[in-house]
Amino acid sequence: MIDLTDAATAVLLGGSLATGLLLAATRVPRWSAPTLSRRIAPYLRDIADPRGLTPLHPVAPGARAWRRRRDEVIGRLGDPDATRRDLERAGWSVSVVGFRARQLAAGLVGLLSGGLGAVAVVLLGRPAPATAVLPVVSALCAPMIVRLVLASAVRRRSRRMREDVPLVLEFLALCLAAGESLTDALRRVGDMGAGDLTDHVRTAVLAVRTGSSLAQALTEMARTVDVPSVTRAVDHLIAAIDRGAPLAHVLQSQATDARDDARRGLIEQAGRKEILMLLPLVFLVLPLSVLFAVFPGIVMLRLGL
């Protein structure tokens, strides 16, 4: 017990000393001040570099190869294609490598937190065999929590876009019925609308203005959004453009179908919530009712009345 307490105290004091030294080192002017190349880089414009941030000291080939290899190793952890698709659906402006690095940082934070928890348990004098497993468990759970946060962000954003689909389609149909072209109608929706779906519409309009065809821009938007109602509406819209069908009628029909889908989803969600509402009734209200009904009789029997 004394050895464990001494070891925990040593770890705590050593970690505090290392943290203090690192914080003091970061505040040293020679280290914390920006370098000369970083300070004058925004004022040096190079024609070959459109960003105008040409470094004065280029990265060594060995360091460049090491960074490329590091990005490849981090990006191959898990399924990079599925992770990239989820990041696009969530609207996060982070690459697969950045997301893996975020998971790795969360794992390190979890390992540190678990280690501090184990040290605190030992210092309190109540060590247990499971205390040694606490840092490993926290280090494994932290990346999973980051992944669950991403999945939750994907679900929330998809739900918001599903709710906006009927309104956007009806507004497009109204603009087309007023005599505007499909590109102008999309531009008007992107300018006047607000939300995640209208952001994708603005991206599609920008792609059309920069040289992409309308079909390609809409197909890319449907792939990025990955919402069934949007994909179905884009497929029918592209087919109507190819066949020369009236676009306003097609969009109005798709808006009606989207509202029907939203209504069915709402009914299914209400059914699931109804089952969840039974849990407090069965496990809380019903036992209390039985207790209030039976307890007075038990007391009376014990009193002999």
Q: How many domains does the chain have?
A: 2
- Same domain assignment for residues 35 and 127: yes
Is residue 121 domain-resident? Answer: yes
Residue 163, domain CATH: 1.20.81
Q: Residue written as tokens 């959004």?
A: 225
Q: Spell out, as residue ranges, where the chain has pLDDT lower than 70.
A: 1-8, 26-35, 38, 41-67, 70-78, 125-127, 304-305
Is residue 17 domain-resident? Answer: yes
The answer to whether 168 touches 201, Cβ cutoff 8 Å, is yes
Nearest Cα neighbor of 219 from 243, 237, 202 is: 237
pLDDT 10s digits, 43-65: 664 444 444 444 444 444 555 66
- Same domain assignment for residues 44 and 92: yes
- Same domain assignment for residues 35 and 150: yes
Is residue 137 domain-resident? Answer: yes
Nearest Cα neighbor of 234 from 186, 276, 270 is: 186
3-state class (DSSP) for residue 46: strand
Check residue 305 and give its pLDDT. Answer: 59
- Same domain assignment for residues 152 and 167: no
3-state class (DSSP) for residue 50: coil
- Same domain assignment for residues 11 and 32: yes
- 73, 77, 81, 85: CA torsion to nearest 10: -120
Q: Give CA–CA dist 97/84, Å, rounded.
A: 10
The answer to whether 298 touches 305, Cβ cutoff 8 Å, is no
Q: Residue written as tokens 């709710």?
A: 163
Contacts of 24 (CB under 8 A, 6+ apart): none
- Same domain assignment for residues 7 and 148: yes
Is residue 299 domain-resident? Answer: no
Is residue 268 domain-resident? Answer: no
- Same domain assignment for residues 114 and 250: no
- Same domain assignment for residues 31 and 141: yes
Q: Give CA–CA dist 47/77, Å, rounded.
A: 38
Structure tokens at 36: 């000369």
Whole-prediction pTM value? 0.65
- Same domain assignment for residues 89 and 118: yes
pLDDT 10s digits, 172-216: 888 888 878 888 888 888 877 777 888 888 888 888 888 778 888
What Cα–Cα distance (Å) separates residue 133 from each residue in 114, 130, 137? 9, 5, 6
DSSP 245: -
DSSP 132: G
Element (H, E) at 68: helix 61-75
Check residue 110 and give its pLDDT. Answer: 85
Is residue 276 domain-resident? Answer: no
- Same domain assignment for residues 230 and 115: no
Q: Give CA–CA dist 186/206, Å, rounded.
A: 10
**Range(s) of the domain holding residue 66:** 2-156
- Same domain assignment for residues 132 and 166: no
Check residue 51 and give its pLDDT. Answer: 42
Q: Give CA–CA dist 201/197, Å, rounded.
A: 6
Is residue 98 domain-resident? Answer: yes
Is residue 288 domain-resident? Answer: no
